[in-house]
Structure 1
Amino acid sequence: MTNVERNYDDFTHVPNLVFKSMGYDFLDTPKPWWQHILLRTYWILCLLSHWYMVYYLILRTVEWDTLAGNTTAIMRYGIAYFFVLNSDVKYIIFIYYRRHLRELNNRMRALYPKDDCERREYRVNDFYWPRIARYGVYYYYFVVFVVVVGPILQATGTYLYQRFTSSSEIKFMYLSTYPMERIKSMTPITYAFSQAVDFVFSHFVMNINLGTDIWMMCLCGQLCMHFAHLGRQLETYRPNRHRQLEDCAFLVSIVRKHQLLFILHKELDSIFGMLMAYNLFSTATTLCCVAVYSILQGLNREGFGFLLFFFGCSAQFYMVCYYGQLLIDLSESIALSAYKHTWYEGSPTYRKYLLLIMQRAQRPAMLSAKGVIIISVDTFTSLMNMTYRFFAITRRVLGK
């Protein structure tokens, strides 16, 4: 049985679902009125829980009673600040560029192959969310589950263990995902409310953090698909010096498509350039803080959870770098495809025009952090090396 060729909506379903799950339908897909009300209601709850948690995060920091001289608490608050700030900045940038992003998405949709035959030529299924991206998303939400549900499971497990093994008075430990105290006198009802707020808040900030990157990867993957198809077209073409007009017309179509892809790449880079620059900074600071907190906390439930969180942040940034590297490789491959095909059988005019394509292809399409740092696998390697050096120095200073 032949595989079903994916349509464009299959590619955008995943990033739109991430935002839609927290009540924001970015593509404004058709839906019944009751779904619209439910989405809007949950979106309002997400915003309210976010500002509720941010208020207490700032309030407990200003009070400083529980933080003074407590290095572990300071690092945990630092992680919370960086993660909240990361999601807020990404949200602001995403909302600011939402119209441009919708326009770019519509242009990508118009460029997408229309029928099954054309989609097979483009090999669209090869670019449908590769394994590295799918497993990265699965692991990300697994870490979210461990971090958010872990305190409830630990508190429940400890209570049940004490109930069957201890004869003294048993008290339920009201453990929370986040360090700031919000309710002075905790009861089962207030604890359930607190955990519900923690879940909605975590769902909001985690999805904002991941969803913006997934949208970038989705559109970048579309560019990669078109660059790969353009390279195959050029590599398999057989020019003939007796068909100069036909050969030159073919090169004109290649050049027009090539220029269009670079225009779309420029729009993509302008939308996500600031986000990539901040993403690089926030990932580096978050990884360093999580590494230090893991050293201070040791191998307990929180230390294990934040260790998973460390690998989750690393995997998320690696996915972004993977797509950046793929875009560089496939846009550069146009020059190699031009060299590998039978250009020597073409007319002198054909060879002359082909040289222009090769020269342009030697300047690949790249995702950059506002033109300062190129997003590639080398960037990920440099980030991890920097994190490891910081980890080693901190471990030596703390004597751990």
Structure 2
Amino acid sequence: MEPVQYSYEDFARLPTTVFWIMGYDMLGVPKTRSRRILYWIYRFLCVASHGVCVGVMVFRMVEAKTIDNVSLIMRYATLVTYIINSDTKFATVLQRSAIQSLNSKLAELYPKTTLDRIYHRVNDHYWTKSFVYLVIIYIGSSIMVVIGPIITSIIAYFTHNVFTYMHCYPYFLYDPEKDPVWIYIGIYALEWLHSTQMVISNIGADIWLLYFQVQINLHFRGIIRSLEDHKPSVKHDQEDRKFIAKIVDKQVHLVSLQNDLNGIFGKSLLLSLLTTAAVICTVAVYTLIQGPTLEGFTYVIFIGTSVMQVYLVCYYGQQVLDLSGEVAHAVYNHDFHDASIAYKRYLLIIIIRAQQPVELNAMGYLSISLDTFKQLMSVSYRVITMLMQMIQ
């Protein structure tokens, strides 16, 4: 028995759900009035808390009285780079109308019948369990960074009879001997909502990018498979020309969709990659300084998932680069010897267009591929080594 073939809506469920965590409804799913109000209030609290926390952080950095050791300097460097990274991605996903437009175009193109979905092997392109686990681990490790201090305080209470009132971010100053408990609770609530805004913006934007790129890659594979399977002949020239004309139109349409994708994400992709590399560097150095602690352990997991996050963006960027080129190879290997001259002219059009690679790019000039990932990791390693030497 054939497994159930995933629909386009099934693919959209993961990126949509991730953004719901911070109350942001990307696709404008119909909701009751009360639910809409609750979403709006929660969304406002996340953004407002983020604004307050960033404001306090900037104040502490300008004041510079409380940043008095190397560990704190690296902690602030980590926070600054991560905030820039997350806010860049959040600004990208605020282009909701453009994202919805691209989503509608891809939904139109998605295979409609079960047989068509089987032919396009849509299930092979669906979110793998390992990817879903990666998203869960990323969000989970980020949660642990936030709740780790209160867990440490609870452990201290049961082992030493003293609740230490620790919290996540160093820019909030709390003195349990002078300040009431509700201030501590308020600080933690602010930190939780602030972290939710940053973490979900960070991972969520990349999931939407991958979601669209996977769909485009799926259709390029469909073109390649169609060309490999089709055997033209002058005996059924009219049907052959209709077939190849559809392939030409689809190739042009996919290039247009990729340009739309680059238009939405490309402007922020370069800054996003650079700040992600900076986050990896600063978090790695901070973790090495802190040593083997609960916080250090959660940061190690966070670094691993962040590296995988960058790798996946580069991996799917490499895929579209390769697949767009493989279209020309599929034409070369195509059994077109019995085809008409008109059919062969269509093939020539496909080959000429395939010479210009389709790519995921940053700001129109930096192609995102596995080479980009290698260069980014190489630079990150050198920066980590340099920072550790400077500190020592």
Given the two structures, how large is their TM-score scaled by the length of structure 1?
0.92
State the distance in 1 between where 2:119 and 2:200 align: 34
Q: Which amino acid aligns with 2:8?
A: Y
- 1:83-122 matches, cutoff 5 A: 83-95=82-94, 97-122=95-120
Q: Which amino acid aligns with 2:298?
A: G
State the distance in 2 between where 1:143 and 1:251 align: 50
State the distance in 2 between where 1:36 and 1:140 align: 28
- 1:224-263 matches, cutoff 5 A: 224-263=217-256
User: Which residue is 1:177 aligned to?
Assistant: 168
Cα distance, 1:28 vs. partner? 1.2
User: Which residue is 1:9 aligned to?
Assistant: 9
Q: Does the 8 Å contact 1:72/1:296 carry over to 2?
A: yes
Cα distance, 1:309 vs. partner? 2.2
Identify which of 150, 159, 162 aligns with 1:161.
159
- 1:303-314 matches, cutoff 5 A: 303-314=296-307
Cα distance, 1:49 vs. partner? 1.0
State the distance in 1 between where 2:364 and 2:28 align: 32
- 1:296-307 matches, cutoff 5 A: 296-307=289-300
State the distance in 1 between where 2:346 and 2:101 align: 32
Cα distance, 1:211 vs. partner? 1.2
User: Which residue is 2:44 aligned to?
Assistant: 44
Q: Does the 8 Å contact 1:343/1:351 carry over to 2?
A: yes
Cα distance, 1:312 vs. partner? 2.3
State the distance in 2 between where 1:152 and 1:357 align: 60
User: Which residue is 1:28 aligned to?
Assistant: 28
How big is each residue's C-alpha offset from its partner over 1:313-359, in whole Å with a ceiling of 9 and x where there is no partner?
21211121122122222222212222222122323443343133123
How big is each residue's C-alpha offset from its partner over 1:155-208, in whole Å with a ceiling of 9 and x where there is no partner?
111221124xxxxxxx21111111112444444433232222211111111111
- 1:252-331 matches, cutoff 5 A: 252-331=245-324
State the distance in 2 between where 1:90 and 1:155 align: 33
Q: Which amino acid aligns with 1:157?
A: I
User: Which residue is 1:338 aligned to?
Assistant: 331
User: Which residue is 1:166 aligned to?
Assistant: none
Correspondence 1:151 to 2:149:
yes
User: Which residue is 2:138 aligned to?
Assistant: 140
Q: Does the 8 Å contact 2:92/2:205 carry over to 1?
A: no
State the distance in 2 between where 1:381 and 1:133 align: 21
State the distance in 1 between where 2:384 and 2:103 align: 40
Q: Which amino acid aligns with 1:175?
A: M
State the distance in 2 between where 1:182 and 1:372 align: 45
State the distance in 1 between where 2:384 and 2:54 align: 28
Correspondence 1:191 to 2:184:
yes
When residues 84 and 315 of structure 1 are mapped into structure 2, their CA distance, relative to the original with a 3 A threshold, is same
Q: Does the 8 Å contact 2:328/2:355 carry over to 1?
A: yes
State the distance in 1 between where 2:128 and 2:311 align: 13
State the distance in 1 between where 2:331 and 2:113 align: 27
Q: Does the 8 Å contact 2:282/2:384 carry over to 1?
A: no
State the distance in 1 between where 2:134 and 2:359 align: 22
Q: Which amino acid aligns with 1:172?
A: F
When residues 132 and 378 of structure 1 are mapped into structure 2, their CA distance, relative to the original with a 3 A threshold, is farther
State the distance in 1 between where 2:155 and 2:12 align: 41
User: Is there any run of 5+ residues in structure 1 with no aligned partner, and where?
Assistant: 164-170
Q: Does the 8 Å contact 1:46/1:204 carry over to 2?
A: yes
When residues 120 and 64 of structure 1 are mapped into structure 2, their CA distance, relative to the original with a 3 A threshold, is same
State the distance in 2 between where 1:182 and 1:51 align: 17
Given the two structures, how large is their TM-score scaled by the length of structure 2?
0.94
How big is each residue's C-alpha offset from its partner over 1:9-51, in whole Å with a ceiling of 9 and x where there is no partner?
1111111112222112121112222211211111111112111
Once structures 1 and 2 are overlaid, which stretch shifts more, 143-152 or 340-349? Answer: 340-349
Query: How many residue pairs align between the two structures?
Result: 390
State the distance in 2 between where 1:71 and 1:309 align: 21
User: Which residue is 1:359 aligned to?
Assistant: 352
Identify which of 209, 221, 233 aligns with 2:214.
221
State the distance in 1 between where 2:242 and 2:388 align: 64
User: Which residue is 1:74 aligned to?
Assistant: 73
Q: Does the 8 Å contact 1:132/1:319 carry over to 2?
A: no
Once structures 1 and 2 are overlaid, which stretch shifts more, 181-190 or 121-130? Answer: 181-190
User: Which residue is 2:383 aligned to?
Assistant: 390
Q: Which amino acid aligns with 2:271?
A: Y
State the distance in 2 between where 1:21 and 1:307 align: 24
State the distance in 2 between where 1:361 and 1:292 align: 44
Once structures 1 and 2 are overlaid, which stretch shifts more, 304-313 or 365-374? Answer: 304-313
User: Which residue is 1:368 aligned to?
Assistant: 361
Q: Does the 8 Å contact 1:56/1:182 carry over to 2?
A: no
CA RMSD of aligned residues (A): 1.8
Cα distance, 1:146 vs. partner? 1.8
Cα distance, 1:301 vs. partner? 2.6
**Matched residue of 1:179: which SS?**
coil
Q: Does the 8 Å contact 2:287/2:299 carry over to 1?
A: yes
State the distance in 2 between where 1:254 and 1:181 align: 59
Q: Does the 8 Å contact 1:287/1:313 carry over to 2?
A: yes
How big is each residue's C-alpha offset from its partner over 1:71-129, in whole Å with a ceiling of 9 and x where there is no partner?
2111111111111122222222322x221111111111111122222222222111111
